[in-house]
Amino acid sequence: MKPEYYDQFEEITAKNHEASLEEPGVLRFDVLKDEQNPGVYALYEMYRDSGAILAHKESKHYKKWRDQAEPMMTHPRHGMDFTILYPKSES
């Protein structure tokens, strides 16, 4: 994140966070800030299923956040997919 945008990024990301938690398929949406590296953020997102991910990516608030946030970044965003090992799923 470009230093001049830290505060603005946190503001727009807070709005995206709040709106994302209102989506029925969003189980978790955490916004993390690296304590050792200013300007490094992570969004930890958990969705009910792949349909919920697609719905999120098509949401108005996500598209607005993406369009506002990308020019503030020093590097392109990248996502990583994980499988939960623990706690074990009850299903």
Q: Hey, what domains does the chain have and what are their CATH numbers?
A: 3-72 (3.30.70.100)
Q: Which residues contact 43 (CB under 8 A, 6 or more apart)?
A: 13, 29, 30, 31, 32
Pairing mode, if any, of strands 26-33 and 41-47? antiparallel
**Cα separation of 28 and 61, whole Å?**
16
Contact 3, 38 (CB under 8 A): yes
pLDDT at 88: 87
pLDDT at 84: 87
pLDDT at 1: 96
pTM beyond 0.85, yes or no: yes
Handedness of CA 82, 61, 7, 29 (dihedral sign): negative
pLDDT at 89: 75
Q: What string of pLDDT tens digits covers the 91 residues of the chain? A: 999 999 999 999 999 999 999 999 999 999 999 999 999 999 999 999 999 999 999 999 999 999 999 999 999 999 999 988 999 877 5
Q: Which residues contact 38 (CB under 8 A, 6 or more apart)?
A: 3, 6
Query: Residue 49: what are its φ and ψ, rounded to 5°?
Result: -165, 180
